[in-house]
Amino acid sequence: MNNRPTVTEFEGFDKDTDVQVLRKAMKGLGTDEQAILDILCYRTNDQRQELSKHYKASYGRDLIDDLKSELKGDFEDIIVGIMTPLPLFDATCLKNAMSGAGTDEKVLLEILCARSNAQINLIKAAYKAAGYGDDLEGDLESETGGDLKRLLVGLCTGARDESDEIDRDRVEADAQSLVEAGEGQLGTDESEFQRILVAKSVPHIRAVLLAYAVAAEKTMIESISSEMSGDLEQGYLNIVNYIRNPHEYFAELLYKAMKGLGTDEGCLGRVIATRAEIDLGSIADAFQEKYGQSLVEFIEDDVGGDFKRALIALAS
């Protein structure tokens, strides 16, 4: 599967010129938000980290602190988000989802169901280094319970098999095990779903999904929807949809964040900030094909102001 990013290294990158523009945009009365997004939304995360260091060397000031003091609302969130190294950005989103009254399980599942082993291990290291807690896994255990807790702990382990080999006998055996764990009995054996969908390799699971549809005479998505409910259902739907097609998974997240009354600006910002340098162009293609309207058009119709301009810059 080919990945097309929307943000790539800026040719002719000049950190000294960039920090002068940024400082001028935030110095004195008023803030030039357009100048800020014209630089930061068109640089890679590595280039932004260089700017952060050079800004401090040049002015003795912290760039992120200055941005936080000058910007506000969703625009501040997206700019500070793209200034943050990706593992720390994810770790911060996870910490925020577990802070205060209640836990935002939707955010936990959105992130952990769609990260590789390597990414999860970097997130765990960033979580600890930032002082968010001694252990991300321990915080997940304390904030959730039951089958959902076991699912999140399993995902947080970051130990999915990464083999490319597909053993047809094992594929058929796992497909049959999933039938028996769900459709083939009263109640659902969630542990079998986790044993296969969380621990087995992506190529293996893709093959299992096809074999399951034949054996069960319905798709895995249909079975999960009928056998589970609530956050656990959403978690397994996330896993299956992400494994089936990552681009469609993120396209659907973006669509649901914007459709209907109200907008989930947090989800919108998270997806665009984290995927811009990976596959946001491919996600936009999937969005256009699935929903018949471009991602940029959807953003233009749904949000406004500097937040809209930043999102469009990152997504174009």
Q: pLDDT tens digits, residue range 237-273?
A: 999 999 999 999 999 999 999 998 889 999 999 999 9
Specify the number of domains making up the chain: 4
On whether both 234 and 251 belong to a single domain, the answer is no
**pTM of structure:** 0.94
Whole-number pLDDT of residue 1: 77
Which residues in the chain come in under a pLDDT of 70? 184-187
Q: Which of 244, 260, 291 is the last residue of a domain?
A: 244
| Cβ(144)–Cβ(138) below 8 Å | no
Residue 129 located in a structural domain: yes
Identify the CA nearest to 215 among candidates 249, 173, 251.
173
Whole-number pLDDT of residue 186: 59
On whether both 116 and 133 belong to a single domain, the answer is yes
Q: Give alpha helix (H) positions in 30-145.
A: 33-40, 45-59, 63-70, 73-83, 86-97, 105-112, 117-129, 136-143
Q: Which of 195, 211, 244 is the last residue of a domain?
A: 244
CATH number of the domain encompassing residue 227:
1.10.220.10
The string over 78-105, giving b where at least 16 C-beta atoms fall within 10 Å of a residue's C-beta and e elsewhere, is: bbbbbbbebbbbbbbbbbebbeeeebbb
Q: Give 53's contacts (C-beta < 8 A, 6+ positions apart).
A: none
Whole-number pLDDT of residue 187: 63
Residue 160 has what DSSP assignment?
-
Whole-number pLDDT of residue 29: 84
Whose structure tokens read 């765990």? 124
Residue 80 located in a structural domain: no
Structure tokens at 307: 């937040």
Q: What domain range is 124 assigned to? A: 86-157
Identify the CA nearest to 284 among candidates 316, 241, 237, 244.
316
Residue 76 located in a structural domain: no
Cα separation, 162 vs 281, in Å, equals 26
On whether both 140 and 172 belong to a single domain, the answer is no
On whether both 238 and 254 belong to a single domain, the answer is no
Our measurement of the distance from residue 278's CA atom to the centroid of its chain's CA atoms, rounded to an integer in Å, reads 11
Q: Which of 99, 125, 157 is the last residue of a domain?
A: 157
Residue 143 located in a structural domain: yes
Residue 162 located in a structural domain: no
Residue 6 located in a structural domain: no
Q: What is the dihedral of CA 21, 23, 25, 28, to 10 degrees?
A: -140
On whether both 149 and 109 belong to a single domain, the answer is yes
Identify the CA nearest to 123 among candidates 97, 156, 74.
156
Residue 304 located in a structural domain: yes
Residue 40 located in a structural domain: yes
Identify the CA nearest to 79 among candidates 132, 136, 31, 14.
31
Whole-number pLDDT of residue 77: 97
